Amino acid sequence: MNSNNNTPIGVYVHVPFCEKKCPYCDFYSSPGNEKKYDEYTSAAGEMIAYCGKTLDRTADTLYFGGGTPSLLGAERLGKLIKASEAAFGGSFREVTVEVNPSREDFDFAALRRAGADRISIGLQSANEDELKLLGRTHGAYEAKKCIVSARKAGFENISLDLMIALPGQTGESLRRSVQFCAENNAEHISAYILKTEPGTVFYKKRDSLALPDDDEAAEMYEYFCSLMKEYGYRHYEISNFCRNGRRGLHNLKYWRDEEYIGIGPSAHSFIDGRRFYYPRSMKAFLENKTVEDGPGGDIEEFIMLGLRLDEGITKERFFLRFGTDIPEKYTAAAKKLQQAGLADVRDGGIRLTEKGFLLSNSVILSILG
């Protein structure tokens, strides 16, 4: 990898607390309390300062994910934003905080004043029966209240998460969820197909859940993509959609194979061609024990991640990174898929078509050979 130490990195801060575990979720989180939130804020703040000092890099995106970052409250999050500004050069183009819509008392105005400018809300669905099945503690009413409060506080960039292929989900119910997002003028929507991950309650119950099979899930995803188009959203990444050019700048770094530092248990990092992560353990994080995850940033990885984006791999971006054109073996493989309408090879670059997005796993593997 051609490391360029002048390029700003992204900073991800994992907040490992949730009020209650959702039955489908395998993210690292557990219940907290005010004392634990204080302790974690001070530990994460110290680690941010330490990483800023040892890496000596600037950063231009900051993302608080979880878990439920909003549980920390605006004041603690503000402290972590300040610590990040001090550690990484002080000017972020985007500061995102994931918010759970069930807390009505969250102080959005204070969070906005502290420097956050983007909110990501775990809506998952706008249908009460689906939310109940997912074990969520909010309804559409609470989600709407959350959006209204964030707007009132000055947030002009709101992302909503949705889930596809839920047991019992219909085209009509999916349309209702999309309509909810569009009517509330969400700038960005992330949509994920429900997967039953080992270790979750849903995994144990998977045989009794009446989950859609792979074909039905793919059909649902295809229908969802058509709804997004109908409501004016650009399909800019396999699972992400936006209006008015509001792509998620932090997550763009992941797909463009750019560098980021992850702070907190289970957080992953990619710096100077090296991938590493904190294990799913608070103790390991507090002791700053990371696990090596091998080298990163080679041509195959760059192509694999970049093809998730509608911009694909451009000749220019490839050249800037590797100092050569895209090797012929990849463009030749993509040209074969072009005949089937799955890829588009032009101006020395490769991108997947909408149809290619639907079959992205196998299409990307065919291009990589």
Binding site for ligand SF4 (CB under 6 A): 18, 21-22, 25, 27, 29, 66-68, 100, 122
The distance of closest approach from Cβ of residue 137 to ligand SF4 in the complex, given in angstroms and rounded to an integer, is 8
Residue 10: phi and psi, rounded to 5, are -105, 150
- The residue (of 45 and 101) whose beta carbon lies closer to ligand SF4 is 101
CB of 320 to ligand SF4, least distance (A): 36
Q: What is the closest distance, in whole angstroms, from the C-beta atom of residue 76 to ligand SF4 in the complex? A: 17
Yes or no: say if 312 and 351 are a contact pair by the CB < 8 Å rule: yes
Residue 48 Cα to chain centre, angstroms: 20
Structure tokens given for 300: 């195959």
Q: Which is nearer to ligand SF4, 20 or 206 (CB)?
A: 20
Closer CB to ligand SF4, 27 or 231, in the complex: 27
Helices (H), the chain: 34-55, 73-87, 108-113, 128-133, 140-152, 171-183, 201-204, 214-230, 249-255, 282-286, 299-306, 315-322, 328-338, 354-358, 360-368
Q: For residues 19 and 75, which CB has a smaller minimum distance to ligand SF4 in the complex?
A: 19
Q: In angstroms, what is the minimal distance from the CB of 149 to ligand SF4?
A: 18
Residue 98 CB, nearest distance to ligand SF4 (Å)?
8
The partner residues of 235 in beta bridges, in order of sequence, read 241
User: Which of the 8 DSSP states describes residue 248?
Assistant: -
Using DSSP's 3-state secondary structure scheme, residue 237 falls into strand
CB 347, CB 331: distance < 8 Å: no
Amino acid making up residue 240: N
Cβ 29 to ligand SF4 shortest distance, Å: 5
Please say which residue, 98 or 257, places its beta carbon nearer to ligand SF4.
98
Q: Which residue lies nearer to ligand SF4 by CB, 184 or 266? A: 266
| C-alpha 173 chain-centroid distance | 24
In whole angstroms, how close is the CB of 235 to ligand SF4 at the nearest point?
24
What phi and psi values does residue 80 have, to the nearest 5 degrees?
-70, -30
Under DSSP, the state recorded for 151 is H
Beta pairing class for 234-237 and 240-242: antiparallel
Strand duo 188-193 + 118-124: pairing: unpaired
Report the residue number, 21 or 256, with the smaller CB distance to ligand SF4: 21
